[in-house]
Structure 1
């Protein structure tokens, strides 16, 4: 029997070169567990109610930190503990395949949204909005963006960068996080202008 408040922890092998914080771990019925992403491949699940029996399918998404260039299979160590006692310790086989290389048109849309992932410490999600990849001449542009999940914006986190064409994407056509270029190309006037446009309720 699983009692309300019982805790499970799931530890993925942190020796693997993966980002475990990109997508929070979730079960097939979110009403059964409170799920906390502790970072570095550790997730904690707390039962919300008493359960006499049942099967719970739990899915965790992980993302390689480096570009996958060829098909390969790796072994991922996984440890599951119940109330601090290890009940399962095994390795799972994970098949990795490279994503198709993007065409120029695909990697240079008018507007592109990129999620940089969840920060489990601050409980914030980083977003990048890349505007006018294809360098069209734009007049009277009005950009509206909607984000789901009850997200609210942090106005002073908005930062605008003017990025050179060769810095927009990497050699495989994937968008770069321009926040890494904070030491150059930052446009203070444009950043302040956009911050001032945030609605008073800060909803997205």
Structure 2
């Protein structure tokens, strides 16, 4: 009888220990679970024609549109096994894991763009779209979108826009940032840039003007 009591006590202790271990495992999993609305590390596990599949250490794998990396063919698509930084929006959205590559690039690029703006340095970009009053420009290498007003374009861009707009997205242009505010309100210009079509035209006109008597 005494043996049976000890046996039951031992079994209860074992059950309690197993329960404690299970609870500790849950706590550990919760502590290691990536935080939503934050930057996380991910491993590229597969690259297809349309998507990059990433493992961030949770049950579900996430996919990112290849367009977030390609930036009209001028970006760099990661390879299988690469570690990349991602923005984790939701662990379980209506379409599963919600992650973004371009958003974390935007966050990391703000400091660099702000420095470029403050120093008046030049920056390269690709014109991705023409809209009312101007053009959308993807600033390289981040792909951050900026606005190029028609009044801030040069002759080359205006000529391409009038003759063959598709060629605009196949060429890299140099810009200067003339306005930069929070919420990604960035305005760029092609005017007064050394080597631009506008400047070359103005220099040519100055040389051909007759000398005043």
TM-score (norm 1): 0.27
Q: Which protein has the larger Cα radius of gyration, Structure 1 or Structure 2?
A: 2
Is the helix fraction higher in 1 or 2? 2
Q: TM-score, normalised by structure 2?
A: 0.26
Higher relative contact order (CA 8 A, sep 6+): 1
